[in-house]
Structure 1
Amino acid sequence: MPSLFGSSGVRGVYGRDITPSLIIKLGYAISAFIGRRKTISIGMDTRASSPLIKGLLASSFMSSGHDVVDYGVLPTPALSFLTGKHTDFGAMITASHNPPEYNGVKVFDHEGKALGPCESANIEKLFDKAPKMVSWNEVGSLHDDRERLEEYLEYVISLASPKLDKLKIVFECFNATACMVVPHLRTSTFKKSILLNSSPSPIFSVDRPEPSPETTELLQKVVKAEKAFAGIAYDGDCDRFSLVDEKGRFIELDKLLAFYARHLVENHDVKVIVTNISASMVIDELVESAGGKVVRVPVGDVYVADEMKKQGTTFGGEPCGAWIHFEHNKSPDGIISSILMLNILSEEGKPSKLFDEIPSYHIIRYNLECPPKLKVKVVENFKENIERILGEPIELLEVDGVFAKYNDYWCLVRSSGTEDVVRVTVEARERAMGENVAKKIVSHLRGIIR
C-alpha cells in the first residue's frame, strides 16, 4: 500500500483517494494506536464531505471504546489548541488549502501537536489489522461541545493590542473556517474591519483557499480602495496567513517570516528560528544579523515542531504562512500569527515602509503534476543528473528532496507530501538567472514525467 500519511496527515480527493471504507479503517487504526479508552476531540472544516467523514471517524473511535468530543466546524489551530487543553488526542477533518473536492484527516497528540512521521508510520502498520470493537456496554460516548470554540476565541482576543481597535483591517475568509472566528474578532477587537467572503460554505470563493498573490487579488483591491492599514488572508483551515500592505501589495511570505523572526531575536530573546529547507536566504540574513541562528528541516509543520522541541526554542515557521508559537499553540496557527504580526505593525508604522527595507530575492516555484508512483523516481533522477543540468554544486543536501547550493542561487526539487506533484523551487539574486535555472530543471523533469 502506498504511504497513507503525507507531511500534513492523510489527504486526497474524496471518492478517489479518500473513501468511506478508508476512513473507517483509518479510525480503527488510530484507535488501536491510541490504546485503551481515551477521549478524542474531533472537528471539521466547511467542505461538503466533512460531515460524512466526521461521522465515520467518530463511529470507529466509539466502537473501539473511545469517548468523542465534537467541536463542530472550526479552524485546525482551534482544534489543536482545545485538544491540548481538554482531551487525549484530536482529529481534524480538513484538506487545508486544497480545492473543495479534497479532504483528509490530521491527528494531534495530548499537547495539541500534530503526530510526527514515526507515530504516523505506526498507525499505518495497524491499518489492515482487524478492528478491535468493544461490547455494547463499552461503546464510547459522544459529547457535543461546539460552544468550546469560545475558549479559543477568548484566548486569541486576549493577545490583541488595544491599538488594533483603531486600525482598519480587511480580512479575506474565502468562505472557509475563518468565518467561524473573524466575525467575532470584528465585534471585539477589529471594530473598523471589513470582511470578505465571510459566510461558511462548502464551495470556497476561490478554487484553492490559499493565501497567495493570485487568490488575494480582491483583498489587495479592497485594501487600497478603502485606504486600510493592512489586509489579512487565511487559508482553508486557518493554519496559514498572509499580509497585504496599505498600498494593496501582497507581502512575500518569506519576507514576512524574516521580519517576524528578526523581531523575536531582537526583542524577545529568541536565539533559534526553525524553518524548512525551501525558505529564502533572506531569513538567514536577517536572523543572523540580529544575533540569532536558523535551523532548517524538511518541509512540513511536524518537522518544524519536532525541531523546535529539540532546540528548546519557541518559534518556527514555514514560508507558506504556517507559523508555530509554542507558548500559544503547539501547531501552526494563522489566526494567532496574524494577531501577533499586527501587534508589531501597530507599534512600528506603515507596513509598506517596514517591508520595503527588507531585501527581496527572486524565488521561482513550479508544481509539476506527477503520478504518485513516479514522484520518488523523478527526484532521484534529478539528483543523478544535477551536474549535467546545472554544474557541480557548492553544497548538496538530501534533507527533503534534493537541495543544491551555488554561488548566486539555490534550488530544491522535492516530492509533495500532500499532492500528486513534484515541487521545484529556485532562489537567485537575479530574476533572469533564477528563471533560467528553473526552466532547465522543469524541462528535464517534464521529460521524465511524460
Structure 2
Amino acid sequence: MEMPKKQLFGTNGVRGVIGEQMNPELVMKIGMALGSMRKGRIGIGRDTRTSGPALSRAVIAGLLATGCDVVDLGVLPTPAVQYLVREHFDAGAVITASHNPPEYNGVKIIEGDGTEMDDAETIRLEQRLFAEEFTLAEWEEMGILSAAPEMIYEYINAVAGYWNNCDADGMTVVADPGSGPACESTPKVLTQMGCHVFTINGMMDGTFPGRMPEPSPEGLQPLAELVRETGAAFGVAHDGDADRAVFVDETGHYLEENEQFALVERFICSETPGMVVTPVSTSFLAEKIAEETGSTVEYTRVGSISVARRMMALAAEGETVVYGGEGNGGLILPGHQHCRDGAMTAATMVALLKSSGKTLSELRSTLPPHAMLKDKIYTDSPNELLETAKNAFSGDTLDLTDGVRINRKGMWALLRPSGTEPFMRLYVEAETEDEAQAFRDEITKTISL
C-alpha cells in the first residue's frame, strides 16, 4: 500500500507566512503531537525571526502539556540544536523558516539521534495533529521548563576542535551570518581555530536588514567587498538557520555551491577514500571527484533528511561513508554529526586551505569544466508535467529517484516539484554553457507542449 503523503511538512519541516499558514495555535498542536510521540526531555531552539519568541513558547506549551520536560536553548543555529539533542535530549524542535523571507516561520522536528524526523514519522505526527489525538498529562505530571542558552558553547567547542591538527595561524576570514543565529557561533568557531575574523551582518535581527536569509551572489556583494578590502582568504555566509554555508573566494568571486561540494569532497576523499552520498540534484562534479580519489557516489532523494539517513544506513551495513550533503551549501561530515552544518563547513574550508597551501580561486580552477542552470517552472499540474517529461525523454537514461532526471553523455537535467515552495525546479548541467542552454531549451519547449 502506498504511504500517505505529508500535508503540512515539506522537505525540511513545516513553514508558512505568519498569520496565514503559520500561527501559535498550529505550533502548540505540533508540540502536543511531538510530546505525545516522544516522551522525555526535549530541547528547543529558534532562529532570530521576530515571530520566534511567540512560536517557541507555543511549542514549549504543547510539550509541557504532554508531560515532557523542556529545555529552552535560546537562539542558536539548527545544527547546534541537532548536536545538543543528540548528546543530551530525547528529541527536539527548532523554530525556523531557514532561507525563507522574514515574514515566514516554521518548525523542524529533531529525533534523538540529531537527525530531522523522517517522512514516515512525520506523517504519523501529522495524523495525530489533525485528529487531535494528544496524550495530555494530569496536573501533577506536567513537564518542567528550564533554560540553558550556555549549552551552545559545547557545540562551538566541538566544531572548532574537529580539525584538531589545523592551526589557522592568523588567516583572515570574513563571516556573514546574515543577522541570523550564527552571529554568536561561527565567528567564535573561526577565532578559536586561530583566524582573524571580520563580520558583516553580525548583529541578530529578525528583520534581516542587511540581506535576505537566502544567500545569493547579489546579496553577498558587501561581503565580497569586505573580503577584498581586508585581504581575507575567503568570506563565508549562512542562510537563516545556519545549516548551510556559501563562500566567496579571496577575489570576492562567488563560489558556486556545487563547486564548494566538490572541493571539500576532494579534500576529504583524498585523505580517506570511501562513499559519498548526495541527492540527484547535485553536480556531476561529485562523480568526477569520486573517480579521481578512488571513491564512489550514491544518489538519494533531494533533502538532507534523505542524505543523512542513507549515510547512516550504509555505515550500519559496514560501508565506509566519508562525506555527504547537497549542492546547495549544505555539507555533512559524518565524523561530526549527520546533518548539514554551516559552521562546520566554514571550519572545513579553513582546514582545506591550510592543507593545500593554495588560494580558493586557485583550487577552484582545478575543477573539471561544468555549467549548471537552475530555473523555476510554475504549474498547477506538476504530476502531468513529470509524466510528459518521462514520455518525451524515454529514449534517454531516466532516474526516477526524485522527480525525473534525464541523463545524457556529458550532461543531465532534473525536474522535480519544490518541497518548500509552489513550483517545479529544473536543473540542467553540461560541460559548457552553450550545451546546458540548448538542453534546457529542449526540455522547456517539450514540456510546454
TM-score per shorter chain, which class? over 0.9
Matched, 1:246 2:254: no
Aligned to 2:417: 415
Q: Secondary structure at the match of 2:388?
A: helix
Matched, 1:49 2:51: yes
- Among 322, 339, 343, the alignment partner of 2:347 is 339
Change (3 A) 1:2 1:83: closer
Q: Distance in 2 between matches of 1:63 and 1:360?
A: 56
Matched, 1:325 2:343: no
Q: Secondary structure at the match of 1:108?
A: strand
Letter in 2 for 1:176: G
Aligned to 1:287: 290
Q: Secondary structure at the match of 1:125?
A: helix
Q: Secondary structure at the match of 1:248?
A: coil
Q: Distance in 2 between matches of 1:286 and 1:181?
A: 31
Letter in 2 for 1:365: K
Q: Distance in 2 between matches of 1:385 and 1:193?
A: 48
Alignment check: 8 A CA contact 1:211 1:240 kept: no
Aligned to 2:155: 152
Q: Secondary structure at the match of 2:426?
A: strand
Aligned to 2:28: 24
Alignment check: 8 A CA contact 1:409 1:429 kept: yes
Matched, 1:40 2:42: yes
Q: Distance in 1 between matches of 2:268 and 2:187?
A: 29
- Among 382, 386, 392, the alignment partner of 1:382 is 386
Q: Secondary structure at the match of 1:126?
A: helix
Question: What CA deviation, in whole Å up to 9, does each residue of 1:244-301 have, x standing for no partner?
Answer: 1111111121111112112222212x41000110111111011112111000001100
Aligned to 2:302: 299
Note the C-alpha offset of 1:163: 3.0
Matches within 5 A, 1:360-379: 360-370=369-379, 374=380, 377-379=381-383
Aligned to 1:311: 314
Q: Distance in 2 between matches of 1:385 and 1:332?
A: 31
Note the C-alpha offset of 1:186: 5.7
Q: Distance in 2 between matches of 1:314 and 1:141?
A: 40
Alignment check: 8 A CA contact 1:243 1:251 kept: yes
Question: What CA deviation, in whole Å up to 9, does each residue of 1:297-320 have, x standing for no partner?
Answer: 011000001110122124211000
Matched, 1:107 2:109: yes
Alignment check: 8 A CA contact 1:393 1:406 kept: no
Alignment check: 8 A CA contact 1:288 1:294 kept: no
Q: Distance in 2 between matches of 1:173 and 1:322?
A: 15
Aligned to 2:396: 394
Letter in 2 for 1:341: M
Alignment check: 8 A CA contact 2:282 2:327 kept: yes
Q: Distance in 1 between matches of 2:66 and 2:391?
A: 54
Q: Distance in 1 between matches of 2:341 and 2:186?
A: 14
Change (3 A) 1:162 1:362: closer
Aligned to 1:359: 368
Percent of pairs identical after alignment?
31
Alignment check: 8 A CA contact 1:65 1:134 kept: yes
Letter in 2 for 1:326: P
Q: Distance in 1 between matches of 2:61 and 2:414?
A: 42
Q: Distance in 2 between matches of 1:22 and 1:230?
A: 41
Aligned to 1:97: 99
Q: Distance in 2 between matches of 1:310 and 1:115?
A: 15
Note the C-alpha offset of 1:154: 1.6
Q: Distance in 2 between matches of 1:186 and 1:155?
A: 12
Alignment check: 8 A CA contact 1:253 1:319 kept: yes
Letter in 1 for 2:56: K
Matches within 5 A, 1:3-14: 3-14=7-18
Alignment check: 8 A CA contact 2:386 2:403 kept: no
Q: Distance in 1 between matches of 2:214 and 2:128?
A: 33
Q: Secondary structure at the match of 1:403?
A: strand
Q: Secondary structure at the match of 2:168?
A: helix
Letter in 1 for 2:112: H
Unaligned runs of 5+ in 1: none
Matched, 1:223 2:258: no
Note the C-alpha offset of 1:184: 2.6
Q: Distance in 2 between matches of 1:233 and 1:222?
A: 12
Unaligned runs of 5+ in 2: 316-320
Q: Secondary structure at the match of 2:83?
A: helix
Letter in 2 for 1:164: A
Alignment check: 8 A CA contact 1:99 1:207 kept: no
- Among 271, 277, 284, the alignment partner of 2:274 is 271
Instruction: Provide the TM-score with structure 2 as the length reference.
Output: 0.92
Aligned to 2:318: none
Q: Distance in 1 between matches of 2:410 and 2:155?
A: 45
Q: Distance in 1 between matches of 2:209 and 2:335?
A: 33
Alignment check: 8 A CA contact 2:174 2:232 kept: yes
Aligned length: 437
Aligned to 1:237: 241
Instruction: Provide the TM-score with structure 1 as the length reference.
Output: 0.92
Aligned to 1:430: 432
Change (3 A) 1:2 1:123: closer
Note the C-alpha offset of 1:214: 2.4
Q: Distance in 2 between matches of 1:343 and 1:328?
A: 15
Note the C-alpha offset of 1:33: 1.9
Alignment check: 8 A CA contact 1:277 1:400 kept: yes
Letter in 2 for 1:110: G
Q: Secondary structure at the match of 2:338?
A: coil
Change (3 A) 1:314 1:38: farther
Q: Secondary structure at the match of 2:129?
A: coil
